Amino acid sequence: MKSLNKVELHLHLEGAAPPGFIRGLAAEKQQDMGDIFDDRGNYSYDGFNDFLRAYEAATSVLATPSDYARLLSEVLNECGEQGAIYVELFVSPEFCGGADLSAWRDYLAAMEEVANAYALSGVESRAIATCIRHFGPDRAKKTALCAAETAGGWVAGLGLAGAEDLGAPGDFAWAYDCAREAELGLTAHAGEWRGPESIRAALELGVTRIGHGIRAIEDPALVRDLADQGITLEVCPGSNIALGIVPDWRDHPIARLADAGVRVTISTDDPPFFRTSLAHEYEMLAETFGWSETEFQQMNLWALDAAFCDNVTRDRLK
C-alpha cells in the first residue's frame, strides 16, 4: 500500500517521533528518559493516561527550535515513505516554548524551512496549533493567540488534544472563536474516550472535522447529523485498537460509519507509540473490510476536501 498516494489529516508531531530519535537526542543532552522504553527500545506505557505521561516525557527532550526541525525532517521523510502527499501535523505551542509568541515564532521559522524543503520534493504539510485539554482553558487561550498571530503560512488550523475527560469542549470556546476570527481551520479530538455528547459539544465549537469521533456510532441520530453536515472524521483505527477503545479490527466502527454516509478518513495519530504506519493501516483495513483502491481513493478525496490548505490538487490522488 506504500505506493498509493495518501492524505493524512491527523498526525501528532511529537507522537510520530521514532523512539531511536528520542533516545539519540536524550543521549546528546545527557537526559535520563526514565521508564518510557521497553527492553526492545519501543515506547512502553500502560493505558491512555500513562501513554500521555510517556508522550510528554519523550517531548521533554525536544527543547529547541532545532530539535523540532530535526524531528520534523524525520517525520516528513517517513510520511513520504508511506506514500503521503499531504499531511497535517498537530504541533503545540505549549511544547514549543510554553505558548510564548516570540518563542513560537522561532520554533515555527525552523520548522517551516524543513516543511518547505519537503514540499518541493512532493510531501506538502501544514500545522494545526494544538491546545492540550488537560493543561486547561487559560493555557489554550495563549495557544490560540499564538496560532492566530501566525495564521496563514504553515499554520493552518487549531486543534484540541489530550485527556478528553478533563474539561468540556465549551471551556475552550474562547480559543476557537479567536482561531475562527483568524480564519484558521478548526478541528477537535472528541468521541475517542467519551461518547456522542462529547462530539456534539465539539461541533458547537464550529469545527468542520472531528479527531477520532468513532463513538458517534453509539447514536444513530448523531451519525445522520455528521453525514448530513458533511463533517469529516479523522479516524485512526490502529490507535483505537492499541489503546483498547476498540477490541479488534473487525469491531472497528469505521466501516459502519462509512456505510452510513459519514466522511471517514484514515490517519495514524502517534504511529511509533501504536506500532503502526500509514501503509499498515491501509493494509489492515483492506484485509478486514475488503476495501480496495476505489474506497481508499474516495476517503483520500474527502480528506483533501476537508484539508486546511487548498494547494494540493485532486489529480495527485489519481
Interacting residues with ligand ADE (CB under 6 A) = 12, 15, 55, 161-162, 189, 192, 239, 269-270
Which CB atom, from 252 or from 317, has the smaller least distance to ligand ADE? Answer: 252
Distance CA 187, CA 43 (A): 27
**φ/ψ (deg, to 5) at 111:** -75, -35
Of 104-112, 120-128, 261-269, 290-298, the segment contacting Zn ion by CB under 5 A is: 261-269
| By CB under 5 A, residue 8 contacts Zn ion | no
Shortest distance in whole angstroms from residue 189 CB to ligand ADE: 5
C-alpha closest to that of 175 among 92, 89, 271, 284: 92
Which CB atom, from 155 or from 161, has the smaller least distance to ligand ADE? Answer: 161
- 192 annotated active-site: yes
| By CB under 5 A, residue 269 contacts Zn ion | yes
Measure CA 292 to chain center: 24
Q: What is the DSSP string of 112-173?
A: HHHHHHHHHTT-EEEEEEEEEGGG-HHHHHHHHHHHHHTBTTTEEEEEEES-TTSS-GGGGH
Of 52-60, 254-262, 263-271, 303-311, the segment contacting Zn ion by CB under 5 A is: 263-271
| By CB under 5 A, residue 88 contacts Zn ion | no
Shortest distance in whole angstroms from residue 162 CB to ligand ADE: 5
Shortest distance in whole angstroms from residue 290 CB to Zn ion: 27
Question: Which residue minimizes CB distance to ligand ADE?
Answer: 161
Q: Tell me which of Zn ion, ligand ADE, none is bound by residue 239, counting a contact when its beta carbon lies within the kind-specific cut-off of 5 to 8 angstroms.
A: ligand ADE
Which CB atom, from 8 or from 192, has the smaller least distance to ligand ADE? Answer: 192
Contact at 8 Å (CB) between 55 and 90? no
Angle at 257 between CA 294 and CA 46, to 5 degrees: 105
Which single residue is written with the C-alpha cell 480564519? 183
Shortest distance in whole angstroms from residue 240 CB to ligand ADE: 8
Give the cell for residue 220: 444513530
Say which of 14, 124, 164, 192 is annotated catalytic: 192
Contact at 8 Å (CB) between 132 and 153? no
**DSSP-H helix ranges across the chain:** 19-28, 48-59, 65-81, 101-120, 137-149, 173-181, 196-204, 220-229, 237-242, 254-259, 278-289, 293-306
Shortest distance in whole angstroms from residue 104 CB to ligand ADE: 19
Q: Tell me which of ligand ADE, Zn ion, none is bound by residue 237, counting a contact when its beta carbon lies within the kind-specific cut-off of 5 to 8 angstroms.
A: none
Which residues contribute to the site for Zn ion (CB under 5 A)? 269
| Active-site annotation, residues | 192
